[in-house]
Structures are given as structure tokens and as C-alpha cells.
Structure 1
Amino acid sequence: MAAQWQGPRKYFFHIKQAVAANWYDLAYWLGFDDSDTGNIAGRNRDDRSCCMDLLQEWLSKNGEAATTEVLMEALANASLQEVLKGLKTKYPELAALQVTQSPNAGQPSSGQPQRASQVQPQSGSRGQPQLAAGGPSNNAEVELTPYFNIIAKNMGVQWPQLASNLGLPFTQIQAIKQENSNNCWMCCQEILHTWFYSNGTQATLDALIQAVRDTDHQDVVDMLEIKQFELQKNTSGSPSHS
């Protein structure tokens, strides 16, 4: 069976923990300028939140061009070798990934080196590294992202109950709480992505909505079902009106 590409989002939570205050350097190599980083810093209260915001923004802006290979190259160019080493230790599928550094790596202030967002991927049919089989597809992740954002914004302090409903063990829930300084939004995003990557094809929208329903958060269930209706309507081929 051919390996499925799971996308770079799988690695975001490890990266934001390890990069922390060095997110400015990573931002440069991902193609962000000073105004971009200023906006990110202005809407987040700590470096880890800034780093996660940066990664989400990069993925949103670049779509399919935001590959794992590009992200690994940006980490290398930002002289974040220890982060790369940690990723390869935690995620064996990255061990064979070859990362090419820019000649100007580690010197973002001099000249205009080729940034990671401008690097043309070279491996695989679309430049995407071949990762381990058995996980959900990148398309499934993209489809669930709008629902994850709704939940993270509205679940609040009940996120541990949702995590339990999704099958996460108590010790993992406590670790996520500690790692994210009890930031409900960040905690909720992490438990949702952990659930997604742990359950493969069983990580469905129906299962997610049921887990939310079991928290007695009917308001969030209503928001999710409205979003589902809107997205289904948008993809049904209905003509748009200007």
C-alpha cells in the first residue's frame, strides 16, 4: 500500500513547543515580513502561541505548496537543528527526509536569500515527502479544520471533557494542559489534532460532533451542524451571485 501524505500540521504542536522564542527566525524563512510578524505578535500573549499562529498562517496562505519538506528546510535555514533532530526522533517517518540548507542559512538579516515559501519541492509527485501509511489523508484534515476552529473557539474550559470523550487518556490530557499553560484554545486544538492523527479513517465529522454532543455543549453542536450545512451547500454546485 502506498504511503499517505499526512501534511505538515501533524508536526505543528511539537514545533511550537521547541521553537518558542525563535519563531521570528522561522517566520523569516517561511516568507513572512516584519509587518506579518508584528501582527502575529500583537494578537498572541506568548511565544508558543505566536509560533502556532505563524504555522497556521503559513499553511493557510500556501495551501498545497506548504509541504513538510518546505517546513523542514525553513527550520534548517533558521539554524533550528535541535528542533529538526527532535522531530526526527519523535516521528520516524522524517528520518530519511533530506533537507537542503540555503547558503545564507542563519543570516536572515543579510541580503534576500531564497525563503522556504519560495523553494520548489523536489521529492514525490507534488514535492511531498512520503510518510508512514495508516493515517488520515491531508484532504480529510483540511475538511475538518473549520470544525476544529469552531470547537477551539467555543468549547472553553470544558475541553478536557471533550478530550476524554474523544478517547484521550487522563495523563495525556494533563500533559497538554501543562504544555499549553492551560490556554483553552491551544489545548483544544492539540487534543483535536491528536485525536485526528490517532484514529485514522475513524476520525470522522460524525464522531467529532457526537463527542461534542456528549459534553452537553449543544450550542457548539449547532454551530458545527450549521457549518456542515454551509459547506455542503457551497460544494453542491449552486451558482453564486455577485
Structure 2
Amino acid sequence: MANRGQQGISKYFYDIAEEVPADKWKDFARKLQMQEVKIGRIEVEENGMVKECCMKVLHQWRMKNGRKATPEVLRKALDDAELGDIAEIIKEEPEVRMPVQETSGNSSGAHPPTTQYSQPSSGDSKRSYTGLQPEAMDCEDYDDSLLDL
């Protein structure tokens, strides 16, 4: 099984689609809350090719649910469709936060240094936010305005 170098939840899609049996893909789609009309449309568009149908179901599920398209939800849908053995493909991974830029506080020392983090999102773009460095967090230096970033 290969993850094909993809990011986030979609890195599991190919392996899952390869394993779902022909008589279970529609039930799996239903467990992902896909409507019957969409399931039928996918079957027609993909000429009934199970792996392609599963790939399309998974991609549409991810697009529809965004951040709610989690490994936990996907594992539950597989378990509910009696595909628990396939659910084992999905591993729980910690959220990745990579420091990309550190900035110091202003010259008066009123604000502690902060680090800018990059966090992968469900799409291809990256989101970034600024947060206090753990060692710089002091109750006296806490600034509520950072919560609005």
C-alpha cells in the first residue's frame, strides 16, 4: 500500500479505494452521508468502476466536509460499513505545526517574542498564525489582542 505522497486525509484515499469490495462501496458512501442521487451519478460517471467510484466519493466527502473530514470520521464510516479491516489503514497523526518565522517583541519589552507557525489545511494552501512561544508566556505579559489573530 502506498500513500502516493499526498497530504492530510487524502493520502489514505487510494489505499482505501483499492480495498473496498464491489458490493460494499455504495454502503460506504452512505455511511459518509452521501445522498443516493450522488451515489448513482458517481456510478454512471465512473462506469461502475469500483476503485474510481470510491475515489470520487472520498474526494467529494473531503470537499464537502473540509476540516470535519477527519481520520476518526473516516474510520467510523468504514467500521459502520463493515469494513473495519480497511479502517486499520488510517493512522491517527498529530497535527503538524512548523515554526517558520520568529519575531521579537517591541523595543519596550511590553510584548514577548512570538513565533509564526504554518499549519497544513485541508486544501493545498497553508494557513499561518502567530502565537506566543511557550517559554515567553508569562501571566504579566499576556495580551488578549493575540486572541483575535
List aligned pairs for 1:34-183, cutoff 5 A. Answer: 34-45=36-47, 46-85=49-88, 87=89, 94=91, 97=92, 130=94, 138-139=120-121, 142-143=123-124
Code of the aligned partner of 2:124: E
Q: Which runs of 5+ in 1 are unaligned?
A: 1-5, 89-93, 98-128, 145-242
- After superposition, what is the alpha-carbon deviation per residue over 1:188-237, rounded to whole angstroms, capped at 9, x for unaligned? xxxxxxxxxxxxxxxxxxxxxxxxxxxxxxxxxxxxxxxxxxxxxxxxxx
CA distance in 2, matches of 1:59, 1:53: 10
Equivalent pair of 1:8/1:67 in contact (CA under 8 Å): yes
CA distance in 2, matches of 1:18, 1:57: 18
1:10 aligns with 2:16: no
Name the structure, 1 or 2, with higher relative contact order (CA <8 Å, separation 6+): 1
Query: Paired residue for 1:19?
Result: 20
Which structure has the larger Rg? 2
Q: Which TM-score applies when normalising by structure 2?
A: 0.57
Code of the aligned partner of 2:69: A
- After superposition, what is the alpha-carbon deviation per residue over 1:148-174, rounded to whole angstroms, capped at 9, x for unaligned? xxxxxxxxxxxxxxxxxxxxxxxxxxx
Equivalent pair of 1:75/1:83 in contact (CA under 8 Å): yes
Give the C-alpha shift of residue 20 in structure 1.
4.0
Q: Which TM-score applies when normalising by structure 1?
A: 0.36
Q: Judging changes above 3 Å, is the alpha-carbon distance between structure 1 residues 132 and 15 closer, same or farther for their aligned structure 2 residues?
A: farther
- After superposition, what is the alpha-carbon deviation per residue over 1:48-94, rounded to whole angstroms, capped at 9, x for unaligned? 00000000010111111111111111111111012123x15xxxxx2
Q: Which has the higher strand share?
A: 2
Q: Which has the higher helix share?
A: 1
Q: What's the % identity of the aligned pairs?
A: 32
- After superposition, what is the alpha-carbon deviation per residue over 1:125-145, rounded to whole angstroms, capped at 9, x for unaligned? xxxx526889x9533x6136x
Equivalent pair of 2:17/2:54 in contact (CA under 8 Å): yes
Code of the aligned partner of 1:76: D
4+ runs deviating over 3 angstroms: 131-134
In structure 2, which of residues 24, 28, 31 is the aligned counterpart of residue 29 of structure 1? 31
SS at match of 2:20: helix
The alignment yields a C-alpha RMSD, in angstroms, of 2.5
Equivalent pair of 1:7/1:68 in contact (CA under 8 Å): no
Q: Which runs of 5+ in 2 are unaligned?
A: 1-6, 99-117, 126-149
CA distance in 2, matches of 1:133, 1:26: 32
